Amino acid sequence: MSKRITIMGSTGSIGTNTLEVVRALGSDYRVVGLAARQRWAELESQCRAVEPQVVAIADPKCAEQLRRMLNGQVEVLEGEAGLVELAGHRDTDFVVAAIVGSAGLASTIAAVEAGRHVGLANKEALVMAGSLIVPLARQTGARLLPIDSKHSAIFQAMSAGSVDEVRKIYLTASGGPFRTWPMEKIASATPADALLHPTWTMGPKITVDSATMVNKAMEIIEAHWLFGIEVDAIEVVIHPESIVHSMVEFCDRSIIAQMGQPDMRTPIQYALTYPRRLRGCARDLDFSAIGQLRFEPPDLHRFPALRLGYEVARAGGTAGAVFNAANEAAVEAFLQGRIPFGRIVDTIREVLDRHAVQSNPNLGSILQSDAWARNEVKECLKS
């Protein structure tokens, strides 16, 4: 019997790569559900290609357009309730959680509540609500399988031992487009500059997050929740080639690294086929052509977001929700040309400094903190 897959965020970068992987895997894997927020025309095209049973689209007006174009051939759910319903659908075995940002939180929780295996590409869900999602997964039997390349690498490397044998996790980072820029030039970088990532092809929001290193800060928090590792045992290393995706050091000082081409299809496929390994889509790795692999300590003056990541991970509670929301609002302002690049992390810091962290929050408190942070960003940007 084929594995039934639902892709939340199917029109984004992870979603389209997942569809490509499923096509390559053949008849043992079948897409039964697709979801997007607004891009109904792309969703319609995907429906024609893979013939899912159900689709969901957040925007009700887009849902009307999609229903008209599909003419009853596929069930169309709408709104946030539709996304949540699809994520927990009874006819799904595996949910790819790839809706970017806080918008993907509710559907990710729904998939975990339903006890599904979840391919977690939405790191923001754990940044915001790791204290809720991880215990919930234990309770329902849901399995969280990381799709993010760094956490997939850690997951694979950790199979060489047990969690209590882990001494340290090394999260690698390319350093983004501004690794070698003069400091005085970075603050005035344009959206076009920030969107030129040296090794990965991603959506605009995560590409900006990589340029600020907010993405790596979030990965620190995600690794803490996903693997139960103490924050101080997580170390970031700059690795410009993006070949070593992350490393795990064990108590005997052995270090296990996962390596490969910087191609998101590899961690996507591993999550889908786990624990099996099947022939992949990525190019072969030619070590002689690469020549060298470099590793450098991160410059916290150049990348102040990393310091924030450690602070937020240690603080816990609602700090993650505020960090994520402030970043989303600040990145949106940057991409719209309303603030300079250098203002993104400064704004996040300012909002975090104003926040009184609530320990052990429920979902309502997390969502309230998210809304509060977005409003605070608006206030910050007025000054």
* Per-residue pLDDT tens digits for 247-296: 999 999 999 999 999 999 999 999 999 999 999 888 899 999 999 999 99
Q: Cα angle vertex 347, ends 341, 352, to 5°? A: 145
Tell me which residue of 202, 13, 9 sits closest to 104, measured CA to CA: 9
**What pTM value is reported for the model?**
0.95
- Kindly state the average pLDDT of the residues 17-43: 97
Residue 356 has pLDDT above 80, yes or no: yes
> Taking every pair of C-alpha atoms in the chain, what is the biggest distance, in angstroms?
62
CB atoms within 10 A of CB 35: 31
- Return the pLDDT at 201: 66
Tell me which residue of 293, 301, 126 sits closest to 225, measured CA to CA: 126
- Return the pLDDT at 206: 85
In Å, what is the CA distance from 367 to each residue of 18, 110, 295? 29, 15, 38
Q: Under the phi-then-psi rule, with left for phi > 0, alpha for psi from -120 to 50, and beta for the rest, what region is 188?
A: alpha
Q: Identify whether the C-beta of residue 156 lies closer than 8 Å to the C-beta of residue 270.
A: yes
- Return the pLDDT at 159: 96
Instruction: Write out 175-197 in H/E/C secondary structure.
Output: CCCCCCCCHHHHCCCCHHHHCCC
pLDDT interval class at 86 (50, 70, 90): very high
Phi, psi of 148 (to 5 degrees): -50, 135
Residue 42 has pLDDT above 80, yes or no: yes
- Return the pLDDT at 165: 98
* Per-residue pLDDT tens digits for 339-350: 999 999 999 999
**Summary mean pLDDT of the chain:** 95
Residue 36 has pLDDT above 70, yes or no: yes
Residue 338 has pLDDT above 80, yes or no: yes
CA distance 241 to 219: 19
- Return the pLDDT at 200: 65
Strands 244-250 and 3-8: what pairing?
Answer: unpaired
Q: Identify whether the C-beta of residue 292 lies closer than 8 Å to the C-beta of residue 311.
A: no
pLDDT interval class at 382 (50, 70, 90): confident
β-pair partners for 104: none
CA distance 100 to 18: 15
End-to-end CA distance of the chain: 59
* Per-residue pLDDT tens digits for 221-242: 999 999 999 999 999 999 999 9
Residue 1 has pLDDT above 90, yes or no: no
Tell me which residue of 337, 11, 13, 7 sits closest to 203, measured CA to CA: 13
CA distance 169 to 161: 13
- Return the pLDDT at 196: 82
Per cent of the chain over pLDDT 90 is 90
What are the structural domains of the chain? 3-146 (3.40.50.720), 152-315 (no CATH)
Structure tokens at 80: 């946030």
Compare 220 and 176 and report the one with higher pLDDT. 220
Instruction: Write out the chain in H/E/C secondary structure.
Output: CCEEEEEECCCCHHHHHHHHHHHHHCCCEEEEEEEECCCHHHHHHHHHHHCCCEEEECCHHHHHHHHHHHCCCCEEEEHHHHHHHHHCCCCCCEEEECCCHHHHHHHHHHHHHCCCEEEECCHHHHHHHHHHHHHHHHHHCCEEEECCHHHHHHHHHHHHCCHHHEEEEEEEECCCCCCCCCHHHHCCCCHHHHCCCCCCCCCHHHHHHHHHCHHHHHHHHHHHHHHCCCHHHEEEEECCCCCEEEEEEECCCCEEEEECCCCCHHHHHHHHHCCCCCCCCCCCCCHHHHCCCCCECCCCCCCCHHHHHHHHHHHCCCHHHHHHHHHHHHHHHHHCCCCCCCHHHHHHHHHHHHCCCCCCCCHHHHHHHHHHHHHHHHHHHHC
